[in-house]
């Protein structure tokens, strides 16, 4: 088997890792811009720790806190303009996938002029502001990937920037920032990470290294999901459970940095853009359906994945996950046709070990969402 493995991000892990490693920031420049959402980084203490660490080493900073859920192309350009106007040396992206995705795009756009029509072309100069990523959820693994996923209104879906230039230079992982997460957010983000690990094993770019990481990630996520199933808003997570989930998401991020994602993500993007379904939930609704398709052509692989989860059937997996993420939406036949046509044009389909045909994608939407 011939493959490459590239993971340039330095990961610093553990409680209070930001405050304990403030000197790291001095290697990146003298002025930083924090990229966050409007509230969560302030509430969970991550922004405060970053500011304290920067002040301790004499680095000035400004804050761009206008990142919305599923950040837009316009958001990335606005943040980049602010960074340029203030001579920012590096970007610190704090939050879930949305701020980290926005932060990566801002770092790229602040260092070079790219027209919106060319933003997703993959043709960039080797110029980007250094990126520090601070995940405060355990879902996207964006702190260790070369992807930035933005809402692309021109294409009416979510589209990815993919470039080794936007790998974060440094990732700080401290699970204390997850303490106040709601049950819904915990579940949806964990299922997102699960889908990364599972899809990594279903990619044409999988390797022995990525599979090893994926299986460990799957085991850890499923153990945590089983432990919190049914808790609802009364969910209680120990620090050990938060650590396990954050590190599992981190491992799954490393997996997709090597393998990319599959048709599950492409199908889910259409649901997130058009129906407002949370990204992780969308993946969870569709994952079982794709595994069933895989099992028809490669039953050994599908059985291996389900076995790592601790089950003997895909149906058993769905019996845990589907009640936790909640109901999907009904789609008309026209909507299914429209979404399927979009999915067929994505590179995700080509990345699948078991490549779905148009009819397969339509059937997966129908089955997963109980469409009418």
Residue 1, in any domain of the structure? no
pLDDT given at position 372: 40
201 in the same domain as 263: yes
Listed residues 143, 177, 211: the one ending a domain: 177
What CATH number should be reported for the domain holding residue 158?
3.40.50.1970
Model pLDDT, residue 289: 96
Residue carrying the six token digits 């290697």: 27
25: containing domain? 10-177
29 in any annotated domain: yes
pLDDT attached to residue 1: 63
Q: Tell which of 128, 143, 177 closes a domain.
A: 177
Q: Which of 133-154 are b and which e, b meaning 16 or more Cβ less than 10 Å from the residue's Cβ?
A: bbbbbbbbbbbbbbbbbbbbee
pTM for the complete prediction?
Answer: 0.96
| Structural domains of the chain, count | 2
Q: 365 with 331: CB under 8 angstroms?
A: yes
| 312 located within any domain | yes
pLDDT the model gives residue 146: 98
Q: 190 with 325, same domain?
A: yes
- Listed residues 142, 177, 212: the one ending a domain: 177
Q: Is 2 contained in some domain?
A: no
161: closest CA among 85, 87, 107, 210? Answer: 107
Say how far apart CA 248 and CA 307 lie, in whole Å.
Answer: 17
pLDDT < 70 positions in the chain: 1, 371-372
Same domain as 240, residue 143: no
Q: How far is CA 257 from CA 133, 146, 185, 206, 282, in A?
A: 15, 6, 23, 11, 21
On whether both 200 and 329 belong to a single domain, the answer is yes
């Amino acid at each position: 088997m011939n493959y490459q493995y590239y993971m340039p991000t330095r990961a610093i892990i553990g409680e209070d890792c930001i405050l304990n490693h403030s000197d790291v920031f001095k290697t990146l420049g003298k002025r930083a811009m924090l990229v966050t959402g409007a509230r969560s980084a302030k509430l969970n203490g991550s922004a405060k720790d970053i500011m304290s660490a920067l002040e301790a080493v004499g680095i000035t900073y400004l804050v761009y806190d206008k990142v919305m859920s599923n950040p837009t192309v316009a958001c990335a350009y606005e943040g980049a303009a602010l960074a340029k106007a203030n001579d920012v040396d590096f970007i610190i992206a704090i939050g879930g996938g949305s701020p980290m995705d926005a932060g990566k795009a801002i770092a790229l756009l602040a260092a070079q002029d790219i027209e919106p029509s060319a933003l997703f072309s993959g043709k960039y100069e080797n110029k980007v502001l250094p990126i520090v990523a601070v995940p405060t959820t355990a879902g996207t693994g964006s702190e260790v990937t070369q992807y930035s996923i933005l809402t692309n209104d021109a294409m009416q879906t979510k589209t990815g920037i993919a470039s080794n230039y936007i790998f974060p230079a440094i990732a700080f992982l401290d699970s204390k920032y997850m303490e106040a997460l709601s049950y819904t957010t915990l579940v949806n983000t964990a299922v997102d990470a699960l889908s990364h690990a599972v899809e990594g094993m279903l990619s044409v770019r999988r390797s022995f290294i990525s599979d090893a990481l994926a299986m460990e990630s799957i085991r850890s996520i499923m153990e945590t999901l089983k432990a919190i199933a049914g808790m609802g808003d009364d969910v209680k997570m120990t620090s050990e459970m938060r650590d396990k989930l954050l590190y599992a998401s981190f491992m799954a991020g490393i997996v997709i940095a090597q393998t990319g994602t599959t048709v599950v993500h492409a199908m889910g993007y259409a649901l997130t853009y058009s129906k407002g379904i949370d990204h992780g939930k969308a993946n969870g609704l569709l994952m079982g359906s794709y595994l069933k398709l895989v099992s028809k052509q490669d039953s050994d692989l599908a059985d291996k994945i389900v076995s790592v989860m601790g089950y003997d059937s895909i149906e058993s997996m769905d019996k845990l996950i589907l009640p936790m993420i909640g109901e999907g939406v009904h789609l008309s036949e026209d909507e299914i046709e429209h979404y399927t046509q979009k999915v067929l044009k994505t590179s995700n389909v080509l990345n699948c070990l078991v490549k779905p045909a148009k009819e397969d994608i339509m059937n997966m939407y129908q089955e997963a969402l109980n469409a009418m």
